Amino acid sequence: MVKKWQKLASEKLADYRIFTVWRDKRLSPRTGREHDFFVLDSNDWINVIPVTAEGKVVLIHQFRHGTGQVTIEIPGGIVDLEDGDPSVAARRELMEETGYVADEVIHIGTVEPNPAFLNNKCHTYLALNARRVQAPQFDGAEDIAVEEADLAEIRKMTEDGRIAHALVIAAFYHFNRYQARQLNGSKLID
């Protein structure tokens, strides 16, 4: 059985706006040797799948600096300390990035984006009866276009690579599970 590695020391190497870099020294329970690991410490993230009363999904297009490409995604962002709860961040990001609000915001799943070196989680919310109430409120580093797409089109966009963001694909996995539970009459279990 794989055992937990004991943390011997932790040193902060750098502090950036969206994450802090730590070097953790850990002891292998199998070999007894010490090893250094680098961890990105970040607040949790959220993703929101906004669905309109007509059954359309609100998507965003934005330039991503990591890949140097414009991506198709769902609204998302970081959970700020003042949010207190990821659902607050979900409503805030939905409004800021799209100008939409929703009647109901339901938590439908959580994933660990990359536990090899990230220590945070990404929470996915379903925003029901989403509707536009104002223009988006981008921060200075955002440039986003908003579109509504038929739910049936989402699968095609994933299959042909137009949607390739792993956390967005994970969000739609949670959405599909939520829909299946609703069809079967079973209660959503967190």
Which region, left, alpha or beta, applies to residue 84 given φ > 0 means left and ψ of -120 to 50 means alpha?
A: left
Alpha helices in the chain (DSSP H): 86-98, 151-159, 166-184
Average pLDDT, the chain: 94
pLDDT of 131-151, one tens digit each? 999 999 987 788 999 999 999
Q: Scanning the structure block, which residue is given the tokens 């799943």?
A: 109
Give the residue-averaged pLDDT of 26-45.
97
Q: Which CATH architecture has domain 45-184?
A: Alpha-Beta Complex (3.90)
Backbone angles phi, psi at 134, to 5 degrees: -165, 175
| Contact of 130 with 105, CB cutoff 8 Å | no
- The three-state DSSP-derived secondary structure of 80-112 is CHHHCCHHHHHHHHHHHHHCEECCEEEEEEEEC
Q: Scanning the structure block, which residue is given the tokens 């739609």?
A: 172
pLDDT band at 189 (very low <50, low <70, confident <90, very high): very low
Give the residue-averaged pLDDT of 152-169.
96
Percent of the chain with pLDDT over 70: 97
pLDDT band at 184 (very low <50, low <70, confident <90, very high): confident
pLDDT of 58-117, one tens digit each? 999 999 999 999 999 999 999 999 999 999 999 999 999 999 999 999 999 999 999 999
- Give CA 108 to chain center in angstroms: 12
Q: What's the pLDDT score for residue 138?
A: 84
**Where, residue-wise, is CATH 3.90.79.10 in the chain?**
45-184
Cα(59)–Cα(95) distance, rounded to whole angstroms? Answer: 13
The closest of 101, 164, 89, 169 to 132, measured between CA atoms, is 101
| Contact of 112 with 149, CB cutoff 8 Å | no
Token digits of residue 190: 């967190």
Percent of the chain with pLDDT over 90: 91
Beta bridge mates, 77: 46
pTM: 0.93
